[in-house]
Structure 1
């Protein structure tokens, strides 16, 4: 009897293992900024397809995600900036064709510690003065940022250099992508940056809107003035109506064309990302859902299998519908 029970247990275990192995898996990786969206979509989709399809979500940063994606290791990668020419060449070398699909809008948030009582806003010119390469070792005190600011050390926190957030911030603020001082605390993990600013009264940092909205009790957002405009605070509303500039940007998923065409479950998940009812998920995790025109244009790119990118690098203040209608290059 014991032998029969043991055999039955082994057989049952084997069947469970086989069933687990048989579950189709969509592999997603990439941006820490896009990660909350990826995670929410994966959970919702997984619940609707339990036992049949699962979605795994990695967190390698935009640059790290593109490295895996262009080697053909993932089906979809999240990106907080467009693909770079060098990454595009790597994809081409490995025969990885892709679809460029916007998933949400984000407002890059500039933040300080809540105990900071001297900053009520900053201008883009002041941020450039702080972050440009020439500031390294030179602009190290709040009193150097603006007359009237206190004589306090200026401690900087920002996205790591492998992050699309870093690329977009430097393009928008400094005027050149990937150009900044190097003497700041950098991390691809936005939670590290949140805690850094939250624990330092003299801190100034930047990262995606979702991480600010999750931590409003620990952080204070800084309204930004651009080209002499009234200062505007980052929010879903100001990102959605385009008022918060130049730090509003689209977020993207890049989907492997072969994965979509050869794995129906990858196509199913990719279509799921653009269902109107899932806009609430995007909003729940702190980002601005796409409007109907953008969703329709993205679904057209998906349906037509339109390969390539509309960009040559990060662009400031883009019209997402216009970029989706551009002729793509690959």
Structure 2
């Protein structure tokens, strides 16, 4: 599929087109946001750079919330997001006159992981995870035996994404019942590699992050099944995320594109390229691709948004 774009990019490289809004195309695309969406976006960007070397694509990682802050200040063209934009962020966008379109790119499951030397945890229920992570757990649920009496009387060491992360927001909403609500005494990082390192070197640790990061580090971690709404312990996988049996810890992943950026031909080419390559690349990385019809619908949604002259956010 990558090959078919070569001729188009060679032709477009011969001239600079005007944006739909009348400005020139800078041929620089700034992207930031979710560490969970980053692997897909970076993989797409790498393929795109090979086909369009005259366009510079930069992909950063500030977490979904940190990325939205940059996006709404007009510092980036695209924001990677592992959750939908919050009402407070929508309000900021309206105040600053930032219009955008939300595009779905793949599905992901959150992995709950322990150290490989942990031989006592066979599964977690949602209630047990809530018991561990809810705000009232701080100072109360400090040892593994506080979760289940027959588990070791050893300190429980928690690792999770930072509070600016969409993964943190999603986990707390799905498990605790309120987005952004959790105990505060855990090791937090926007860098999932830091979380992997923490759990992989501590027998009494427990952490969570996107499934793709587990796939990359499966030899260092142990995946723990979570009991779903049917009462069955299920591990996240391409199959269980796509068929919905791994719940409630499955979610869609997004990119948000600003109206101003969407007027530029380089951004239009990149986004269309992204939606064409996402099915293959997301699966290679460890995420779950959407049906072909869903990607076609997202391309049409973006086409209409980038062609429109009226300023209307598309959610």
TM range (shorter): 0.7 to 0.9
Report the CA distance between 1:24 and its aligned residue.
1.4
Equivalences, count: 286
1:38 paired residue number:
41
TM-score normalised per structure 2: 0.88
- After superposition, where does 1:1-330 map in structure 2 within 5 Å? 24-50=27-53, 52-227=54-229, 229-261=231-263, 263-275=264-276, 277-305=277-305, 307-308=312-313, 310=315
Structure 2 runs not aligned, ≥5 long: 1-24
Question: Which structure has the larger Rg?
Answer: 1
What's the secondary structure of 1:62's corresponding residue? helix
CA contact (8 A) 2:40 2:278 kept: no
CA-to-aligned-CA distance 1:11-37 (integer Å, 9 cap, x gap) = xxxxxxxxxxx9711111111111111
Give, in whole Å, the separation in 2 of the partners of 1:256 and 1:278: 20
TM-score normalised per structure 1: 0.84
Report the CA distance between 1:286 and its aligned residue.
1.6
Give, in whole Å, the separation in 2 of the partners of 1:95 and 1:278: 30
Give, in whole Å, the separation in 2 of the partners of 1:290 and 1:136: 38
**What is the Cα-based RMSD across aligned positions, in Å?**
1.4
Report the CA distance between 1:309 and its aligned residue.
5.6
Report the CA distance between 1:293 and its aligned residue.
2.6
Give, in whole Å, the separation in 2 of the partners of 1:24 and 1:301: 23
Report the CA distance between 1:89 and its aligned residue.
1.4
What's the secondary structure of 1:274's corresponding residue? helix
Report the CA distance between 1:152 and its aligned residue.
1.3
Mean Cα deviation higher: 172-181 or 146-155: 146-155
1:322 paired residue number:
none
Structure 1 runs not aligned, ≥5 long: 1-21, 311-330
Give, in whole Å, the separation in 2 of the partners of 1:95 and 1:233: 43
Structure 1 runs (4+) deviating above 6 angstroms are none
